Structure 1
Amino acid sequence: MTAKTVRRSDNRSALMEKIMRLAPAAAALSLLFAVTASMSAAGERADDPRATALVAEGRQLLNGGDTQAAIDAFEAALAVDPAMTSVFLDLAEAARSDGLQGKAIRYYREARERDPDNFAAISGEGEALVEKGAMTAAREALSELEERCGETCVETRQLAAAIEARPAVMTAEASPADNGVTQN
């Protein structure tokens, strides 16, 4: 072997060693960029036009008083576009109009699970809790809204008004004693 061949072989070895050292880091960075790009693109996703049309139809039906047909339209919209979180708010409103506050709360919580910053879902859940009589939980929702959205936020004011409008319920412990009752 000549000295020139040995140097070329050493240069190749050094080059291969550098490539092998940097390859995992380059692969990790490439993966990070790919995931970041796909997540940011997913956040900008537009709703399916068919689902949007079904939601509009459901809202018309709900405003017309046909709650079950509205629920069917909302559920169909969710089947068409399962990632459409706003449908859960419409389903919750339909459940509330049927007097099913527990079901409405479940829909609001699903919307919040998908989008924790959905103030309409927090407010709606709080209003459903008020309708159900769970005032402590409703006040907790109000407190969360005040922290995250502010006291002048539309959703905060709506929930505060719902809590304020709820008449006070007298508990058995707070009822006045009946003077006509005697002990045996």
Structure 2
Amino acid sequence: MRFLALASAAVLGVLTISSGSLGQKPDSQINPTSLTFEKRGEAALAAGNLPAANDALEAAVVADPKNRAAFVSLGKVAQAQAMPGKAIRYYKNALLLEPNDLAALSGEGDALVQRGAVDRAKDNLARVQKLCGNATCPAATTLAAAIAKGPPAAVQTAQVTDKVPPKGQEATTPEKN
């Protein structure tokens, strides 16, 4: 008698767990609503309408948080709006879904250059080149050009003036006339 109750409970538990997994979609399938919003966002980005692109792409991510392409496009929108920190965050979200995404690695590297983190961008370039192998890769070429160009002048100036003087020395400030 005791065995029958225990066996029945175990069977019910197994059936409950297995039935929950039958209705789930595989990770590789993206919600069609998310894909629709992604296409709208990419069209708005191509047209230069950054607020509309941002809205549509964020809706795509809300509809399906596994839409890696939407995260990459959001990174492009953030870069176009001169917000490299936000772009880096979006590219990181894409890389969490697929660590070897060439577009996300290249975009993140470009945003890192915009922030002045050229050494970290070079690390991304090395990863992109490794993933491309011996083949010429547009992602590697684009990122290499961004690194060669360097960060914007405003970022370079800010990095020079933000340095802390060694102990015992005072910071020098420009004299006012």
Q: Counterpart of 1:61?
A: 44
TM-score (norm 1): 0.64
The answer to whether 1:165 aligns with 2:145 is no
Q: Counterpart of 1:90?
A: 73
Deviations 1:113-133 (A, max 9, x none): 111111111111001111222
**How many pairs are equivalent?**
135
Q: Counterpart of 1:28?
A: none
Distance, in Å, in 2 between the alignment partners of 1:66 and 1:143 is 33
The answer to whether 1:155 aligns with 2:139 is yes
Instruction: Tell whether the 8 Å contact from 2:27 to 2:66 is kept in structure 1 after alignment.
Output: no
Amino acid at match of 1:62: L
Q: Which moved more, 1:119-128 or 1:81-90?
A: 81-90
Instruction: Tell whether the 8 Å contact from 1:150 to 1:156 is kept in structure 2 after alignment.
Output: no
The answer to whether 1:132 aligns with 2:115 is yes
Instruction: Tell whether the 8 Å contact from 2:57 to 2:74 is kept in structure 1 after alignment.
Output: yes
Aligned-residue offset at 1:44 = 4.0
Unmatched tracts of structure 1, length 5 or more: 1-33, 174-184
Deviations 1:48-105 (A, max 9, x none): 2222121111112222222122111111111222221111001101111100000000
Identity value in percent: 37
Q: Counterpart of 2:97?
A: 114
Question: How big is the alpha-carbon RMSD for the aligned residues of Structure 1 and Structure 2?
Answer: 2.7
Deviations 1:104-149 (A, max 9, x none): 0011011101111111111110011112221111111111222232
Amino acid at match of 1:100: M
Q: Counterpart of 1:123?
A: 106
Distance 1:124-1:166 versus aligned 2 partners, 3 A rule: same
Larger Rg: 1
Report 1 or 2 for greater relative contact order, CA contacts < 8 Å, sequence distance ≥ 6.
2
Instruction: Tell whether the 8 Å contact from 2:41 to 2:52 is kept in structure 1 after alignment.
Output: yes
